[in-house]
Amino acid sequence: MGNLFCLVQVDQSTVAVKENFGKFDDVLEPGCHCVPWIFGRQIAGHLTLRIQQLDVKCETKTKDNVFVNVVASIQYRALVDKASDAFYRLSNTKEQIQAYVFDVIRASVPKLNLDDTFEQKNEIAKAVEKELEKAMSAYGYEIVQTLIVDIEPDERVKRAMNEINAGKI
């Protein structure tokens, strides 16, 4: 119905990308807008400005040859002033972020022993956040927070470590 009268509603916490004959024209903020389709104007899509979270699970090996699963939680959002970049420059934001997280974790963890990996999880998170911020700002995204929420060694390694610790008591 709105398209018939050339009116478009943009919801709170989102922006709409307007095109004129298929070329980027403007970013429409929340509210009601007139987009006369008879003059070649259309809404190409909507982009959320809310903070989104992506959990990435990455398997890698430590310096002492223990395989671990590292789970990183990335919170990110599109920037309103770079909404056109966020809409047009990346086709799959989550896969792009995941690739950078894999790259940094697989470069950092193999330099550390298993115990050091647990102790330096904040440094690993900072390295991931720094790399992501540098890469994703070019695409119109801000990295809000990066956390390493879990480091889980192989089940046999956990059992062996528990037996060693039980023997010390």
Tokens of 167: 């023997």
- Predicted local confidence at residue 93, as pLDDT: 94
What residues contact 107, with CB distance under 8 A and at least 6 apart?
none
Alpha-carbon span 71 to 59, nearest angstrom = 9
Q: What is the pLDDT of residues 97-113, one digit of tens each?
A: 999 999 999 999 999 99
Q: Where are the domains of the chain?
A: 7-48, 52-168
The superfamily CATH assigns to domain 52-168 is Band 7 domain (3.30.479.30)
Contact between 49 and 26 under an 8 Å Cβ cutoff? The reply is no
43-100: pLDDT as tens digits: 999 999 999 999 999 999 999 988 999 999 999 999 999 999 999 998 899 999 999 9
User: How many other CB atoms are there within 10 angstroms of residue 78's CB atom?
Assistant: 25
pTM, two decimal places: 0.85
Query: Which ranges in the chain belong to alpha helices (H)?
Result: 83-88, 93-108, 114-119, 121-136, 155-168
Q: What average pLDDT does the structure give for the chain?
A: 91
Q: Tell me, what's the pLDDT at 60?
A: 94
Per-residue pLDDT tens over the stretch 130-151: 999 999 999 999 999 999 999 9
Confidence (pLDDT) at 156: 78
Burial of 88 (0-12, 13-18, 19+ CB in 10 A): middle
